[in-house]
Amino acid sequence: MGELVVEVESLVVRYGRGRAAVTAVDGLSLTVVRATVTAILGPNGAGKTTTIETCEGYRRPQGGRVRVLGLDPVADRRALLPRLGVMLQEGGAWSGVRATEMLHHVARLHANPLDVDMLVQRLDLGSCGRTPYRRLSGGQKQRLSLAMAIVGRPELAFLDEPTAGLDPLARRATWELIEDLRRDGVSVVLTTHYMEEAERLADQVHVIDGGRVIASGSPAELTSRGAANSLRFRGPAGLDVRSLVAALPEGSRVREPAPGSYLVLGTIDPHLLATVTAWCASNGVLPDDLAVERHNLEDVFLELTGRKLQP
């Protein structure tokens, strides 16, 4: 495991005071390894933005410990900020400023900025370079905001929903840029509620809901670990599966979502498969369409929370 660039431990962040206080982040812990892409995946209101804005030093946490590049984001903010790239979820530019003018301005605040023309080309901002910010499309604003986050050659970039509202082409260009950032040694933390984005880009995914991390791992680990898989088969309707549940390892569940369609949830390994087929044999059932199903992150989320990731 490489050097940790972000360490969040039991983070608690509340908005408001007293009875009206809302707990946005409630005991959240996660880490980010240098030169990797980490996705914070979760539905709206899960605490994604609050978590990264706390890492950026915008909010003083009510509990827990946060270290970014080894520094306290609030106490050491001045030392930390030049090393960070920040993409806010919205806004961040004057309404009358032209797109490239804004990018040049942010570049001037840094010691060794990237070549602005190169960034403009990579993010296809050339055609709207002289357009005032207020007249840019949502996607153009997103791409400008991403360019502003990385123009200062940061060590660590926090990107809050970098592809929200982008068309597929622009989304792919953004993904390729993020992959290049990682290749060149930049650590990237992004929030998203697109599971395909997390699956494609992230080395590490933290699934968060209700202000806590409910699962962490690489996309492969998250989608292949037992709890995330299921075994399906078809047979006569109305089988008494209680004896099957008894034969399976503890924690396994068997459902019949539709008559004759059975779903086994649990740690799906060869041993469990053998147990299921043995039970079928002793009950005179020939399982039809027997299949082990590999889940994607969307299913993982559904399984962990009982809700869909995207409304």
Partner 1 sequence: MTTGTFAPRPGAAPLPRMVLAQGLMEARLLLRNGEQLVLALVVPILLLVAGALAPGLSLGAQPRIDVLAPGVIALAVMSTAFTSLAIATAFERRYGVLKRLGASPLPRTGLLAGKVLAVLLVQALQLLLIVPVAWLLGWRPAVDATGIAAAVLMIVAGTSAFGALGLLMAGTLRAEATLAAANLVYLLLVAGGATLVPVEAYPAPIQPVVALLPSGALAEGLRHALGVEAGLAWGGIGIALGILAAWAVLAAVATARTFRWE
The binding site for partner 1 (CB under 8 A) comprises: 56-58, 78, 81-84, 86, 88, 90-97, 101, 105-106, 108-112, 114, 118, 148, 150, 152-155, 180-181, 183-186
- Closest distance to partner 1 from the beta carbon of 243 (Å): 59
- Closest distance to partner 1 from the beta carbon of 179 (Å): 11
Pick 73 or 235: Cβ nearer partner 1 = 73
Burial of residue 78 (number of CB atoms within 10 Å: 0-12, 13-18, 19+): exposed
β-partners of residue 192 are: 41
Residue with token string 């099957």? 244
Element (H, E) at 65: strand 63-68
**What's phi and psi for 66, nearest 5 deg?**
-125, 130
- Which residues lie closer than 8 Å to 220 by C-beta, 6 or more apart? none
Tokens for 63? 């509990």
- Closest distance to partner 1 from the beta carbon of 203 (Å): 16
Q: How far is CA 215 from CA 30, 52, 190, 228, in A?
A: 10, 17, 16, 11
Pick 60 or 308: Cβ nearer partner 1 = 60
- Closest distance to partner 1 from the beta carbon of 187 (Å): 9
- Closest distance to partner 1 from the beta carbon of 149 (Å): 9
Pick 144 or 254: Cβ nearer partner 1 = 144
Among candidate residues 186, 187, 219, the one with its CA nearest the CA of residue 203: 219
Pick 52 or 166: Cβ nearer partner 1 = 52
**What's phi and psi for 120, nearest 5 deg?**
-60, -40
Q: Are 138 and 165 in contact (CB under 8 A)?
A: yes
Pick 73 or 266: Cβ nearer partner 1 = 73
Pick 89 or 267: Cβ nearer partner 1 = 89
Tokens for 146? 């991403």
- Closest distance to partner 1 from the beta carbon of 107 (Å): 9
